[in-house]
Each structure stands twice: as structure tokens, then as C-alpha cells.
Amino acid sequence: MTIQVTPLKQYLENIQVLAPDKTEKQVQELFKTIILENVDFNGNEEMLTYLSDKAPNFEKQHRSRNFIVEETETNNIIGFFS
């Protein structure tokens, strides 16, 4: 298995490129949907809430830097770190 690490800022920018008609808020909502539909973290709700709701805002406010860890072949999100 090969993994790649993508800064959250870049991940959000990639979503914006794929959906150029979306506003920043809509891109964040789309990101939240992607996370909640595709990531489980073994039922750890705090991690899901942080990544889907707080991380994008913290990133924007320069309060934290967040990184998405994906499996390269499938683009499945397998983790993140801040």
C-alpha cells in the first residue's frame, strides 16, 4: 500500500477545482459530506467532528495545520494529522 499526505488547504483547493461553481462555504460542506460518508475512524466521533467541522476553520484562521492521509491507489482517506 502506498500512501500520500495532502495538506488540508490543498485538499480543499482540489475540491474547488473540481467544483468551480461552488462558494467557499459550499466547498466546506462538500468536504464535510465526503468525510462523513467515507471516513469512520472506528466510530471516534470526536475525530470525525474535528476533521469535518473544525479543521477547515482552524486552517483558515491559522490555528492549526492539518494533513489528509490517503491510500494512493484508491484515494481512500485512511487518516489525518494536525
**Is the Cβ–Cβ distance between 36 and 53 less than 8 Å?**
no
Confidence (pLDDT) at 81: 93
Determine the Cα–Cα distance for residues 80 and 67; give it in Å rounded to an integer. Answer: 5
Kindly report the number of other CB atoms within 10 A of residue 31's CB atom: 21
**Is the Cβ–Cβ distance between 37 and 31 less than 8 Å?**
no
Confidence (pLDDT) at 17: 93
pTM for the model stands at: 0.87
Determine the Cα–Cα distance for residues 44 and 29; give it in Å rounded to an integer. Answer: 20
Average pLDDT by stretches of 10, the chain with 82 residues: 94 92 92 91 91 93 95 89 92
Confidence (pLDDT) at 68: 95
